[in-house]
């Protein structure tokens, strides 16, 4: 039986190539636009199918050699085989299509995607899975479609060089760790100041094992602090070093020093700090805050955007549901001597409701929600009646849904700018400006 042959038309959110087999949409992992491929169907549904590549008959001119020898086995990256300009073009096309389908937002208001300065070596935060199989220690990522760990013995190409250095040190230490089977994951955060490692331990850590890890401190490479997260305990336990990890965000005044922002080990921070600063630049450009503006920052985290923007506004209020992040935001406020900012730990929806009940008014609302979006908070945002809404999103689908809700309530999308935070993957970050 001959296999179906098709030409890949485009890429889809999720990373797969798209073609048609007998008029039905077919998703093809690890394909590239303009590939001509013979396919083997793996899944068939009523409205679509999924197929693997049996043979690439004609290679697309947009194909390139992956930098990682594990590409295709490791479940981390999905687009290393596609040239970077085409990755950018496809991301913008996906973004445009998603916003049109989800909220009828015209392509005319969507800007060019902002490329990442680094296509590899950009990640400053990574979680590595750990397993021991037949006596062999594997540290890396889950194999595509499974929970078997692919060992990244040569390091991860999208990780910053210092993370790979520290990972190599961790590997050497853990080879002789008495309870290595109890380590399920290693989290490594590399800021502009400090590199923190958290070893995720499935159960209690004995005093002998603590002593072992402390005694090998100088073998972890350029690591400044080691923590253990044991079992279901809420807090990380410091074994040695410092908990300080920080990065810098540009001040609105080029003559002033950047702000130094910290976050706790295990806390949230953007994985690509260069593009994090790009997001801030886009927010500044679109928001155009003035000395009379009162800014509300929802899902504010550690003050990542609130504090750098505070000098441009009359006041800044931040709301975040994570207590550790709010504690970091308050510490960052004090560290950077920001007097006109305040932070509250609360569920965003209930926090907004409280502000409404207090009669608080804000000219601008900035929100940077998790992947699930801000659907529950949208009614409250509308009741606050800000002139401007700036929506930072990491998921085009939930952005489209929430923009649709806001449009139904009288707002309109002025412009939206996609930002490539995650080269070699299908993920898309963006900043969207809405007004009345």
Assigned domain for 204 exists: yes
The size of the chain, in residues, is: 436
Query: Which whole number is the average pLDDT over 256-265?
Result: 94
For the chain, the domain total comes to 3
Number of Cβ within 10 Å of residue 247's Cβ equals: 24
* DSSP labels, 342-397: EEEES-HHHHHHHHHHTT---SEEEE---TT-SGGGHHHHHHH--SEEEEEES-HH
Here the CATH number for the domain that contains residue 180 is 2.40.50.1070
The reply to whether 283 and 431 lie within a common domain is yes
Q: How confident is the model at residue 107 (pLDDT cuts 50, 70, 90)?
A: very high
The pLDDT value recorded for residue 231 is: 87
How far from the centroid of its chain's Cα atoms is residue 36's Cα? Answer: 33
Assigned domain for 361 exists: yes
- pLDDT tens digits for range 93-104: 999 999 999 999
> Are the CB atoms for 305 and 296 separated by under 8 Å?
no
- In terms of Cα–Cα distance, which of 362, 360, 266, 343 is closest to 305? 343
Here the CATH number for the domain that contains residue 405 is 3.40.50.150
Assigned domain for 387 exists: yes
In the sheet that holds 412-419, the strands lie side by side as 341-345, 315-320, 294-298, 364-367, 388-393, 429-435, 412-419
Last residue of one domain, picked from the residues 190, 225, 241: 241
Query: Which whole number is the average pLDDT over 48-69?
Result: 96
The reply to whether 207 and 303 lie within a common domain is no
> Are the CB atoms for 80 and 65 separated by under 8 Å?
no
Angle of CA points 77, 70, 370, to nearest 5°: 25
Assigned domain for 258 exists: no
User: What are the beta bridge partners of residue 320?
Assistant: 345
Can you tell me whether residue 316 is helix, strand or coil? strand
The pLDDT value recorded for residue 244 is: 85
- pLDDT tens digits for range 293-352: 999 999 999 999 999 999 999 999 999 999 999 999 999 999 999 999 999 999 999 999
E-only strand ranges, 215-339:
225-230, 237-241, 246-249, 259-262, 294-298, 315-320
Assigned domain for 54 exists: yes
Mean predicted lDDT score pLDDT of the chain: 95
The pLDDT value recorded for residue 2 is: 65
The pLDDT value recorded for residue 134 is: 86
Assigned domain for 71 exists: no
The catalytic residue among 19, 394, 403, 409 is 394
- pLDDT tens digits for range 162-191: 999 999 999 999 999 999 999 999 999 999
How far is the first Cα of the chain from the last one, in angstroms, to the nearest whole number? 59
Query: Which whole number is the average pLDDT over 396-419?
Result: 97
The pLDDT value recorded for residue 422 is: 97
The reply to whether 216 and 321 lie within a common domain is no
The pLDDT value recorded for residue 281 is: 97
pLDDT score of 1 more than 80? no
The reply to whether 204 and 174 lie within a common domain is yes
Token pair for residue 107?
Answer: 């392509």
Last residue of one domain, picked from the residues 241, 264, 290: 241
The reply to whether 51 and 152 lie within a common domain is no
Q: How confident is the model at residue 146 (pLDDT cuts 50, 70, 90)?
A: confident
The reply to whether 393 and 300 lie within a common domain is yes
In the sheet that holds 183-190, the strands lie side by side as 149-151, 136-142, 125-133, 183-190, 195-201, 225-230, 237-241
Q: Which residue has the higher pLDDT, 244 or 178?
A: 178
Residues 196, 266: Cα–Cα separation, whole Å = 9
Domain extent, residue 14, equals: 5-63
Q: How confident is the model at residue 248 (pLDDT cuts 50, 70, 90)?
A: very high
The pLDDT value recorded for residue 145 is: 80
> Are the CB atoms for 38 and 23 separated by under 8 Å?
no
The reply to whether 281 and 430 lie within a common domain is yes
- In terms of Cα–Cα distance, which of 263, 268, 256 is closest to 308? 256
- In terms of Cα–Cα distance, which of 251, 190, 245, 179 is closest to 213? 179
Assigned domain for 84 exists: no
Number of Cβ within 10 Å of residue 15's Cβ equals: 17
pLDDT score of 388 more than 70? yes
Residue ranges of alpha helices (H) inside 48-154 are 84-103
pTM score = 0.95
Least confident of 4-13, 49-58, 247-256: 247-256
The pLDDT value recorded for residue 138 is: 96
Assigned domain for 188 exists: yes
Q: How confident is the model at residue 27 (pLDDT cuts 50, 70, 90)?
A: very high
Last residue of one domain, picked from the residues 190, 222, 241: 241
The reply to whether 340 and 417 lie within a common domain is yes
Residues 88, 151: Cα–Cα separation, whole Å = 29
Instruction: Indicate the burial class of 262 (C-beta count within 10 angstroms; 0-12, 13-18, 19 or more).
Output: buried
Query: Which whole number is the average pLDDT over 108-126?
Result: 98
Residues 36, 353: Cα–Cα separation, whole Å = 55
Angle of CA points 325, 331, 332, to nearest 5°: 85
The reply to whether 232 and 304 lie within a common domain is no
Dihedrals phi, psi of 327, to nearest 5 degrees: -60, -40
170 is catalytic: no
The reply to whether 150 and 21 lie within a common domain is no
Here the CATH number for the domain that contains residue 30 is 2.40.50.140
The reply to whether 161 and 181 lie within a common domain is yes
The reply to whether 282 and 399 lie within a common domain is yes
Q: How confident is the model at residue 254 (pLDDT cuts 50, 70, 90)?
A: confident
What angle, 0 to 180 degrees and rounded to 10, lies between the N-to-C axes of helices 396-408 and 84-103? 30
Residues 305, 8: Cα–Cα separation, whole Å = 40
Q: How confident is the model at residue 395 (pLDDT cuts 50, 70, 90)?
A: very high
């Amino acid at each position: 039986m001959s296999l179906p042959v098709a030409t890949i038309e485009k890429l889809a959110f999720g990373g797969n190539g798209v073609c048609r087999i007998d008029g039905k949409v077919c998703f093809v992992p690890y394909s590239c636009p303009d590939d001509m491929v013979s396919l083997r169907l793996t899944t068939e549904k009523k409205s679509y199918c999924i197929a693997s590549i049996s043979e690439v008959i004609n290679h697309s001119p947009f194909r390139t050699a992956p930098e990682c020898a594990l590409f295709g086995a490791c479940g981390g990256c999905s687009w290393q085989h596609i040239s970077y300009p085409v990755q950018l073009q496809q991301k913008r096309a996906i973004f445009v299509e998603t916003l049109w389908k989800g909220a009828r937002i015209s392509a005319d208001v969507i800007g060019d995607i902002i490329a990442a300065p680094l296509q590899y070596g950009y990640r400053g935060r990574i979680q590595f899975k750990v397993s021991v199989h037949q006596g062999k220690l594997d540290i890396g990522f889950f194999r595509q479609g499974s929970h078997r760990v692919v060992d990244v013995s040569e390091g991860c190409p999208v990780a910053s060089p210092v993370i790979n250095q520290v990972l190599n040190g961790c590997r050497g230490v853990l080879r002789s760790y008495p309870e290595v089977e109890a380590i399920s994951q290693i989290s490594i955060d590399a800021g502009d100041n400090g590199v923190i490692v958290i070893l995720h331990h499935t159960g209690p850590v004995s005093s002998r094992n603590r002593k072992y890890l402390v005694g090998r401190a100088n073998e972890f490479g350029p690591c400044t602090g080691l923590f253990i997260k044991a079992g279901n305990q809420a807090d990380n336990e410091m074994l040695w070093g410092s908990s300080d990890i920080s990065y810098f965000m540009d001040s609105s005044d080029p003559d002033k020093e950047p702000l130094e922002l910290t976050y706790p080990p295990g806390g949230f921070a953007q994985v690509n700090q260069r593009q994090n600063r790009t997001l801030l630049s886009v927010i500044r450009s679109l928001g155009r805050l003035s000395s009379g503006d009162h800014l509300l920052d929802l899902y504010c985290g550690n003050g990542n955007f609130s504090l750098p923007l505070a000098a441009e506004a009359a006041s800044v209020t931040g709301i975040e549901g994570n207590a550790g992040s709010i504690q970091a935001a308050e510490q960052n406020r004090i560290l950077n001597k920001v007097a006109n900012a305040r932070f509250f730990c609360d569920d965003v929806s209930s926090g907004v409701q409280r502000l409404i009940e207090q009669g608080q008014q804000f000219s601008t609302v900035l929100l940077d929600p998790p992947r699930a979006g801000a659907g529950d908070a949208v009614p409250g945002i509308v009741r606050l009646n800000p002139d401007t809404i700036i929506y930072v999103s990491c998921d085009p689908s939930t952005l489209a849904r929430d923009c649709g809700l806001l449009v139904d309530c009288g707002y309109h999308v002025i412009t939206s700018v996609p930002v490539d935070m995650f080269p070699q993957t299908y993920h898309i970050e963006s900043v969207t400006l809405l007004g009345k």
